[in-house]
Amino acid sequence: MSEDPTISAETLAALDAAAQALVAEWRRYLTSEKRLSPHTLQAYSRDLGDFFAFLAGYRESIITPKMLAGLTVRDFRAFLAHKRGDGVSARSSARTLSAIRNFYRFLARTHGIENDAIRAIQGPKLPHRVPRPLTEEGARSVMETVGDFADEDWVAARDTAVITLLYGCGLRISEALSITPASVPTGDTMRIVGKRGKERVVPVLPIVRDAIKAYRDLCPYVLTPDGPLFVGKRGGPLNPRTIQSAMQKVRAILGLPASATPHALRHSFATHLLSRGGDLRTIQELLGHADLKATQVYTEVDSARLKDVYDKAFRRA
């Protein structure tokens, strides 16, 4: 197995050849069948690498498929305790446990390597988080302001177009940056490829089409049909960090909270649709959520906003 940039050579050396082959096969499965994003694949690989590094020291022996099958509840709990001792957050520990469980499910399904202990491990309790959207006025202000920090007109138009897509269509930033010139809509809808290759159709408002057109008219680079629509200053694919940085500057100027990130615009899209009478099933389809439970969280956001409005009105009265 060639060295994985997310798993150190020292950790790989703690696995025998058979265990290394299983990890390589698991990674191919995550890429080709599960279609995980490169970011998620790296995170899962890094988490599994942390587990192997701990295991090698804890068991003081080479990691083999037989060892993996024979690990006990005590072994897994010792690893989680080790993570807590390092100051790792409950959310990060939960993600690490998810990666390990995923690996074991793969082993059971493809190689018959079963381990009942991993099923008995309970993850750390996570605080219930409710998305924190911007107000409608705040979202409009972001769209109107984000281009003010660019040193070139085409860059200003680009940043405005990306932000308008996030709020106007409810896209993830990765989805917006994966759009190609060939897929730019001429009508009222656009086909988006989301997580795990799942396609969905989203409506496209005139303000979104106008923002994309303004950017394309000013962009100094030749945009190939199947290449990225949004490019950086050197003509390569636009880095998400560029949009995140622009959003940080907007937050500072407009006095918005730290929760006002590019992803918060997607939350805002969903929350504002719901407050205007949109039904959950439709919003689920527009966001590309596989499970309605992921969409139902916006009902909590809307209720919290109504309570806040009521409280403020009551105090004024």
Q: Which residues are tagged catalytic?
A: 172, 195, 263, 266, 289, 298
Neighbouring residues of 115: CB distance < 8 A, sequence distance ≥ 6: 68, 69, 70, 71, 104, 107, 108
Torsion of Cα atoms, 175 then 176 then 182 then 185, to 10°:
110
Distance between CA atoms of residues 231 and 216, nearest Å: 11
Q: Both tokens of residue 316? A: 């004024």
Q: Which residues pair with 83 in a beta bridge?
A: none
Distance between CA atoms of residues 212 and 207, nearest Å: 9
